[in-house]
A and B are shown apart, each in its own frame.
Chain A
């Protein structure tokens, strides 16, 4: 009971406050952009040859403002924002008027979630295991892996993606150049389509895996190295406990804890997509949509996506903080 009072409730309050602050920041943020969605739409008309006679331009600005819901004071819009948030409806997208933001998000999010959740978890697992092993045993060939990973890590992601692309789509044309599914095919639930989706997602997934593993491997290795010298490990070794046992149940299990927090933060980040991946592989994820939305100051779309992202991150961090005590007895007794 006291656990709930001393830990749970303050933590929940913090969760609500952080989420609230985050969402308010999200409301303010698009309005700070120098791009004005109404004027952006006007220039788009101009760029693509739709003749907007100057006499009618003022009319159009007024109409657009009305349609976009940008009338009224900032406070009115803020209240409407919260109303919409709780009803789960983010309104119409401004740059792709009148499509509802929810529809656009529903279109792109599953691709992002599919790709990124798999790669995040997979890279985390591989990194934890590999990092643990390399951190503990210090054989020569493991040092070589360490150096390899260290060289891969700073290569800008775009270059890594490009290298994979050239290798596996051009020199050895195994994988398609990009897209979510192939041309001329429609989304349906048969084996062919699913295999197709996997085929198209493999290259982006591979690049994300490689980069993700590189980053997390090093964190894990460092943590393991510091744990290695802790008393309980040395004691277990002296006591003659089997090596494999030490690595897994002592070292890796303890090292997992800070890694789990990292995982939580990363998982929340999934909802903002992997922008450069999507740009290189023309993968239909939510990162590209968010980037476009910012470029066109599409307030509603920006707010919609970022709300989901913020809520996802704060919730996953909360979730992890809550199950943390079950892993780490030291915290339990605080």
Chain B
């Protein structure tokens, strides 16, 4: 009963924030589009299905591109695929970051140093280059979204693990932890009951930031022609195809604008959700919003 009430009041409070409302709406529209993708009349990887180069109209809500594909239906697949990649990346990199961060922060000592060293090494290598190279090395292994997501996750856990680690470090010194340790609580329970609740807010907000980053990376990789098979629609590959086929100069502005506007909306939505959620979860920030601060 208590949990349902907290959830209800959580949602109610969140909706007071206009940013959350707009972001939520955008995400809902995107989810709707993703569901629509399962009903698409066209196979997204086929070309020359419809007359090419038509501007948006009732029949083709977002027009058609030069390859004879309906931009609207391409978009539904693109959103789905990009979101899959983003979710996989964020999910795995959070898991790694949490495990690593808590381990390093709680155990301290040599474990800490070894782990931070490994993490630093992944941050140190110029990763765009490495991503390019790895997608070359592993050729069609990266065609699978799941694998691409894991690859991206490998490069994004380090920074957030550091953040979690410093959080854990400061928590470790607090009284309630010392009490728990003294009273003989097993470490796992300490981690679960005492540390995780404080760490989770960070995890959640960085999860969303990580998703944004993953989409950005996917777009960059697609622009360079690596990673995903270019005939598979994602926001990145739609953009790349539009650029390489001179959409702008040919006057097919709807082809070029669709992925850009989608990317912007997606980022804005993700960002606003993460910001409003993190402010909500951090009580001090909530006071700020209400106007307690200046």
Contact = CB atoms under 8 A, between A and B. Distances in A.
Interface of A: 10, 14, 17-18, 21-22, 25-26, 29-30, 32-35, 136-138, 150-151, 153-159, 162, 218, 222, 225-226, 228-229, 237, 265, 268-269, 271-272, 275-276, 290-291, 294, 306, 309-310, 313-314, 317
Interface residues of B, number: 41
B164 interface: no
Contact of B268 (A14, A154, A290): A154
Contacts of A150: 267-268, 271
Nearest to A138: B294
Contact of B139 (A34, A225, A309, A317): A34
A162 to B, nearest CB: 8
Interface in B206-251: 212, 216, 219-220, 223-224, 239, 243, 248
Given A156-B263, A306-B126, A276 B220 contact: yes
B121 A265 contact: no
A17 B125 CA distance: 14
A14 B113 contact: yes
A134 to B, nearest CB: 13
Contacts of A228: 288, 293
Contacts of A294: 129, 132-133, 136
B282 A155 contact: no
B129 A34 contact: no
Nearest to B215: A154
Interface of B: 113, 116-117, 120-121, 123-126, 128-130, 132-133, 136-137, 139, 212, 216, 219-220, 223-224, 239, 243, 248, 260, 263-264, 266-268, 271, 275, 282, 284-285, 287-288, 293-294
B121 A29 contact: no
A154 B136 contact: no
B260 A155 contact: yes
B239 A156 contact: yes
Nearest to A268: B124
15 contacts: A14-B117, A14-B120, A21-B117, A25-B121, A33-B136, A154-B216, A156-B220, A225-B285, A225-B288, A228-B288, A271-B126, A276-B220, A313-B124, A317-B120, A317-B124
B118 to A, nearest CB: 8
Contacts of A33: 133, 136-137
A156 B242 CA distance: 13
Given A21-B121, A269-B126, A310-B124, A153 B288 contact: no
Contacts of A225: 285, 288
A218 B270 CA distance: 14
Contacts of A157: 220
Contacts of B126: 269, 271-272, 306, 309-310
